[in-house]
Amino acid sequence: DTAVSQTPKYLVTQMGNDKSIKCEQNLGHDTMYWYKQDSKKFLKIMFSYNNKELIINETVPNRFSPKSPDKAHLNLHINSLELGDSAVYFCASSQGGPAEAFFGQGTRLTVV
Amino acid sequence: ILNVEQSPQSLHVQEGDSTNFTCSFPSSNFYALHWYRWETAKSPEALFVMTLNGDEKKKGRISATLNTKEGYSYLYIKGSQPEDSATYLCAFTRQAGTALIFGKGTTLSVSS
User: What does the DSSP assignment read for B35-73?
Assistant: EEEE-TTS--EEEEEE-STT-EEEETTEEEEEETTTTEE
Hey, how many other C-beta atoms are within 10 angstroms of the C-beta on B65? 17
Q: What's the rounded mean pLDDT across residues B38-45?
A: 93
Band of residue A50 on the pLDDT scale cut at 50, 70, 90:
confident
Q: What's the rounded mean pLDDT across residues B24-44?
A: 93
Kindly tell me if the per-residue pLDDT of A110 is higher than 60: yes
The pLDDT assigned to A81 comes to 97
A104, B34: Cβ pair inside 8 Å?
no
CA separation for the pair B96, B77 (Å, rounded): 29
Kindly tell me if the per-residue pLDDT of B1 is higher than 80: no
| Number of alpha carbons in the 13 Å side-chain half-sphere of residue A13 | 22
Name, in order, each residue with C-beta under 8 angstroms of B60's C-beta and a sequence gap of 6 or more.
Answer: none
B34, A41: Cβ pair inside 8 Å?
no
Kindly tell me if the per-residue pLDDT of B78 is higher than 70: yes
To probe the interface with B, which of A27, A94, A95 has the most B CB atoms within 10 Å?
A: A94
Give B10's contacts in chain A (Cβ within 8 Å).
none
The pLDDT assigned to A98 comes to 83
| DSSP character at residue B100 | P
CA separation for the pair A74, B108 (Å, rounded): 32
The pLDDT assigned to B22 comes to 98
